[in-house]
Structure 1
Amino acid sequence: MPQKEDDGSPKFGRLLIVLICAVLLCAGLTWLMATVFPNFPN
């Protein structure tokens, strides 16, 4: 990823990266729980 995209709106770029990381983390945790505990919601 190029570092030059930061000078336009650094806060928005960082927020977007954090948001993507959070979504990936939540998806990974959900998949992990579904894999390790198949009957977790019950």
Structure 2
Amino acid sequence: MDEQERNPMNHPEEQPAGTDGAPKFGRLLIVLVAAVVLIGIITLLTERMYS
């Protein structure tokens, strides 16, 4: 069986399973928490300004 029969639509090869290319979930969590805190601070400041 040649390459064209095994991969007729020319899909890229599957990536090896492992943690070397895993997303940085810790960094993402920190960014999400920082965004929520920033939104909270903005909300409190605007509440004080307009009331």
| Same fold by TM-score greater than 0.5 | yes
Between structure 1 and structure 2, the one with the greater Rg is 2
Structure number with greater CO (CA < 8 Å, separation at least 6) is 1
Q: Runs of 4 or more off by more than 2 Å in structure 1? A: none
Structure with bigger helix share is: 1
TM-score (norm 1): 0.65
Q: CA deviation at 1:25?
A: 0.4
Q: CA RMSD in A?
A: 0.9
Structure 1 unaligned residues grouped into runs of 5+:
1-6, 37-42
Structure 2 unaligned residues grouped into runs of 5+:
1-21
Q: Number of matched residues? A: 30
